[in-house]
Chains A and B, each alone.
Chain A
Amino acid sequence: MAVTEGPDAFRASQMRARDMLRGDLEGEELEKYVQERIITTTLDKAVSWARGNAMFPATFGLACCAIEMMSIVGGRVDVARFGFEAFRASPRQADLLILSGRVSIKMAPVVRRIYDQMLEPKWTIAMGACCSSQGIFNNYAIVPADKFMPVDVHVPGCPPRPEALVHGILTLRDKIQGDPTLGWRSRYGAEGTEEVLPLHSSADSVNVFGAPRPGLGEAPIA
């Protein structure tokens, strides 16, 4: 009986790979070798797997939480293990916006603009109490992020530990690998704002407030 696991099996498969590269494998053996190494999947699944494993966050800190955000690229939690370490200085190159800190009323249009400048697919993490629920600064100057842009993951804490943020990032990764759109368009009633419109019209849909949204997605792009 052939060993199927453990170091011996591993060595056997290495030997077979060597034989294959040398061109020594033929017929039945070759067939078996190929079948062992092929995974069939759909393109969508493969793409979202890749997307979830290589997100580029925008270099964008707002307040004290940003210190914790910076430390996730350091050696201790090392987010590079998951493919998130390439902080991009331009929103055009980034696909993840980590709102690390307070968003003041004056800053909100700027944040929204940066979000709009990012190319799809794009995701947002609201980090810390302040930009989720205003935290200890629940006053005239601060506005929660959900008021002006869609947020995919909220990381609670004041500030959240770097581990918590990494957990948030990994949660986002799992969500992306499951369903890359995360369903936020239907959640916020924003169908039709896609940069590439879907083929089918969604003119008859209503937003979350029950009102029809005219003018969106009426003309299908052939």
Chain B
Amino acid sequence: MPDATGLELIAGEIRDSAPGAVISTKHDRGRAEIEITPESVHPVVAMLKERGYTFLASLHGLDYWPDEPRLGVIYELLDMKTVDRISVKTRVTVENPTVASVIDLWSGADHPEREVFDMFGVVFEGHPDLRRILMPEDYEGHPQRRDFPVGGEEVIFTYNEKTMPGWTE
């Protein structure tokens, strides 16, 4: 991990190259975290890659409901030489959930981005093949969003089988 000072140095560098990109920095329990605006994701992540964080360890989504902006996308970057990790976070709204794809920097971002799209509905602009990856193609909704109903299909018992839409419908 970069320590708190190292994190501020990195944040300062980002502020210099892309003014207004950094929303906040946080150093907590040994984890360094930078929150940036969704528009600046691609340049910032590219800059960090240049700086040594060459490995995209994870790319995942999050739903902060009821906070706004609701949807989060988190990039866990790793510097393999110094074993240094940093989390880059960004948050988008449900109405305009677009983030630039980082697939040109790491081709391994392909499936994680599709998964975040599938589960949270975040659209990665520039992704060549943004389809659902886990749910069926014709599935409606994004099941990991917090406003998605928790329970699944209703269970058929003998007492309610006549009123439930079953496979004979």
Asked if residues A189 and B153 are in contact (CB atoms below 8 Å), the reply is no
Interface-centre pick from B134, B161, B167 (highest chain A CB count, 10 A):
B167
Shortest distance in angstroms between B119's beta carbon and chain A's nearest beta carbon? 10
Neighbouring B residues of A37 by C-beta, 8 Å: none
Chain A interface residue count, CB cutoff 8 Å, equals 25
Contact surface of B with A, Cβ cutoff 8 Å: 134-136, 139, 141, 143, 148-153, 155-156, 161-162, 166-169
Which A residue's beta carbon lies closest to that of B142? Answer: A140
The answer for the CA separation of A188 and B166 in the assembled complex, in Å, is 8
For this complex, 19 residue pairs linking A to B, each with C-beta atoms less than 8 Å apart, are A105-B139, A112-B167, A137-B152, A138-B152, A139-B143, A140-B143, A140-B148, A141-B152, A143-B153, A144-B153, A144-B156, A146-B167, A147-B166, A150-B167, A188-B166, A190-B168, A208-B161, A208-B168, A209-B169
Neighbouring A residues of B152 by C-beta, 8 Å: 134, 137-143
Asked if residues B156 and A146 are in contact (CB atoms below 8 Å), the reply is yes
Contact surface of A with B, Cβ cutoff 8 Å: 105-106, 112, 132-134, 137-144, 146-150, 188-190, 207-209
What is the total of A-B residue contacts with beta carbons within 8 Å? 59
The answer for the CA separation of A208 and B156 in the assembled complex, in Å, is 14
Task: List 7 other contacts, CB 8 Å, given A140-B143, A144-B153, A146-B156.
Answer: A105-B135, A134-B155, A138-B152, A140-B149, A142-B152, A143-B153, A146-B161
